[in-house]
Amino acid sequence: MLERVFNTFVLSLAVFCCAARAQSTGDEIAKYREMLADGNPSELFEAAGEDLWLKPMGPNAQSLAKCDLGLGPGVVDGAFAQLPRYFKDTQRVQDLESRLLTCMQNFQGIDGQAVKGEDFGRGNRKNIEAIVAYVVTHSKGMKINPPMNHPKEKEFYALGQKAFFYRAGPMDFSCASCHGAPNQRIRLQDLPEITTPQGAALAWGTWPAYRVSSGEFWTMQRRLSDCFRQQRFPAPVYTSDVTIALSVFMAQNAKGGIVQTPGLKR
Amino acid sequence: MNSFKLFLLMGSLLMSGFHSQAQELDLKRMMESSFQTKGIASVDRLTQDENQMACSTLVKGKPQINAKQQAKIEKTNLSLVAYPQDGVYLGNWREGEKIAQSGKGATWTDKADDVNGGGCYNCHQLDKKEISYGTIGPTLYNYGKIRGQDEAVLKYTWAKLYNSKAYNACSVMPRFGHFKLLTENQLRDLMALLLDPQSPVNQ
């Protein structure tokens, strides 16, 4: 009797596991997220980022403590929730990473152009990734609310929308091939529909994220770069206009959603 | 309509024409300045063909193609399909299954002489035993069982794999033969996966 109950239990477990797997990886990852709710490995990057924010570095031996992320010099709390935005001093619409690059250049004397040529996860870019983890954590739980007042912000939204639907390359792919319709999956991976507020909030609100599969912390710039790789496009230049325009498109569509970064991903 | 109103209307049409042109130019400039060649993925890939451009043109924020343009693109693409010269359409479904499983190829981390996959499972259900399939395209389970394999089915299926835009100008599916992503033999193997009665797709 006991054996039969046990067998039924094992069988039902097996059925449950595979039914869940066939449906989506989303559920399994949601469980994993729950388990790690108090210990997302992003915290290691965040702690390193806080140190780097305050540490005198670069040829000028200065810290970033007076860097203006949009809410005033040195204000980190809530800054990410209101990015990307237009900055008067650079006369550009900037996302978090391009803004950090501006500050590293202006305060620390680091050559921003050289940083653009580096690889993700190395050198100055590795430092930026940690600082990103630190900054976004200080918007966690807040409403996504980037401004849309300056003509340049509006222009970048329109350009981002066009870039989102821009088909090219040997596979005719655009961002919309994967993210332009509801309830789509690649293999078992759910794909947010980024043209809707809910989908955009899922995409924009959960990156940057710690990637369990690679043990790396991926910023939005890195996420976008790998999207373009899989789209069979050439490589987007770090913090280039197309990456900023797409970020404006996503963040504006996500308005009212919640910043859940740093996220935890497959 | 009095002539003043007509004048205003013409003026605004002219202005809107100039405006959208200026925006198109900005998009082109943005794309060109934002990318660099990496490995086999050169910046040439940003240049759209007529088909890609037509399917990227937005009306009220969504891509929209008019019926005339759509018919023209489909006709052109159908005329570019190269059918197998020896008339042999079906290869080996076991090889086809491998090609359907592999999503490799044509990214900047691939090499020019790498063997590409078709990535079919990324978007389609095929063999029922493979539960890790995508939903961007329709299920292809029992594709051959439902359709049989007469001449019309063979030619249609070949053309769909070779150049999906022959039947749907803005299909999300790549043009595997047209852009030489897959070889003729690989296409034969995928045909067998879809149509061979022995293939797991038709069980």
Confidence of residue A8 (pLDDT cuts 50, 70, 90): very low
The angle at the Cα of A118, spanning A115 to A123, to the nearest 5 degrees, equals: 80
| CA gap B186, A142 in Å, rounded | 51
On the question of pLDDT at A219 being above 60, the answer is: yes
Which 3-state string (H, E, C) describes chain A? CHHHHHHHHHHHHHHHHHHHHHHCCHHHHHHHHHHCCCCCCHHHHHHHHHHHHHCCECCCCECCCCCECCCCECCCCCCHHHCCEEECCCCEEECHHHHHHHHHHHHHCCCHHHHHCCCCCCHHHHHHHHHHHHHHHCCCCCECCCCCCCHHHHHHHHHHHHHHCCCECCCCECHHHHHCCCCEEECCEEECCCCCHHHHHHHHHHCCEEECCCCEEECHHHHHHHHHHHCCCCEECCCCHHHHHHHHHHHHHCCCCECCCCEEEC
Asked if residue A36 has pLDDT above 70, the reply is no
Picking from B34, B41, B109, the nearest residue to A241 by CB comes out as: B34
In tens, the pLDDT along B4-55 reads 554 444 444 444 444 445 556 599 999 999 999 999 999 999 999 999 999 9
pLDDT score of A29: 65
Cβ contacts of B95 within 8 Å, gap of 6 or more: B186, B189, B192
Mean per-residue pLDDT of chain B: 91
Chain A partners within 8 Å of B30 (Cβ)? 159, 163, 241-242, 245
B17's tokens: 């024409």
First and final CA of chain B: distance in angstroms?
A: 68
Map tokens 């690989």 to a residue: B186
Task: Give the model confidence (pLDDT) of A166-209 as tens digits.
Answer: 999 999 999 999 999 999 999 999 999 999 999 999 999 999 99
Residue B58: its H or E element: strand B58-59
The mean per-residue pLDDT over the stretch B125-133 comes to 97
Cα separation of A147 and A153, whole Å? 8
Q: How far apart are CA B27 and CA B33, in angstroms?
A: 10
Q: How far is A246 from chain B (nearest CA, A)?
A: 12
Residue with tokens 């299920």: B139
Facing residues of A47 across strands? none
Say what percent of chain B tops pLDDT 70: 88
The pLDDT of residue B13? 45
Q: Which amino acid does the sequence have at A110?
A: I
Task: Retrieve residue A54's tokens.
Answer: 């305050």
- Band of pLDDT at residue A1, cut at 50, 70 and 90: very low
Q: How confident is the model at residue A25 (pLDDT cuts 50, 70, 90)?
A: low
Question: What is the pLDDT at residue A42?
Answer: 87
Q: pTM for the full model? A: 0.88
Q: What type of residue is B117?
A: G
Chain B nearest C-alpha distance from A77 (Å): 30
- Decide if pLDDT at B58 tops 60: yes
What is the SS3 assignment for B180? Answer: coil
Q: What angle do CA A133, A139, A144 make, to 5 degrees?
A: 120
Angle formed by the axes of helices A26-35 and A2-23, nearest 10°: 110
pLDDT for residue A149 is more than 50: yes
For the domain B93-202, what is the CATH code?
1.10.760.10
The reported pLDDT for the residue numbered A41 is 85
- Architecture of the structural domain at A42-265: Orthogonal Bundle (1.10)
pLDDT of residue B25: 59
**pLDDT for the residue numbered A16:** 37
Q: Do A177 and B30 touch (CB under 8 A)?
A: no
Q: Which residue of B has its CA nearest to A225?
A: B35
Q: Are strands A92-94 and A184-186 parallel, antiparallel or unpaired?
A: unpaired
Q: What is the pLDDT of residue A265?
A: 86
Domain layout of chain A by residue ranges: 42-265
What is the chain A residue with the closest CA to B130?
A22
Would you state the pLDDT for residue B111? 96
Phi-psi region of A181 (alpha: psi -120 to 50; beta: other; left: phi over 0): beta
Report chain A's mean pLDDT, rounded to a whole number: 90
Cα(B166)–Cα(A42) distance, rounded to whole angstroms?
Answer: 47
**pLDDT for residue B95:** 98
Whether A113 has a pLDDT exceeding 70, the answer reads yes
- Closest partner residue to B35 (CB to CB) among A162, A172, A236 is A236
Handedness of CA A185, A186, A188, A193 (dihedral sign): negative
Rounded Cα–Cα distance for residues B119 and A266 (Å): 20
Is residue B23 helix, strand or coil?
Answer: helix
CB contact (8 A) between residue A165 and residue B56: yes
Q: Does any CB of chain B come closer than 8 Å to the CB of residue A21? A: yes
Percent of residues, chain B, with pLDDT higher than 90: 88
Q: CB of A22 within 8 Å of any CB in chain B? A: yes
**Residue A123 φ/ψ region, left for φ over 0, alpha for ψ in the -120 to 50 degree band, beta for the rest:** left
Asked if the model's pLDDT at residue A48 lies above 80, the reply is: yes
| Residue A262: closest CA among A146, A147, A143, A130 | A130
CA B181 – CA A33 distance, rounded (Å)? 38
Map residue A186 onto helix, strand or coil: strand
Decide which of A10 and A217 is more confident: A217
What is the distance, to the nearest Å, from the Cα of residue B43 to the centroid of all Cα atoms in its chain?
Answer: 20
Locate the chain B residue with the closest alpha carbon to A189. Answer: B134
Q: What are phi and psi of B124, to 5 degrees?
A: -125, 150
pLDDT tens digits for range A236-266: 999 999 999 999 999 999 999 999 998 888 7
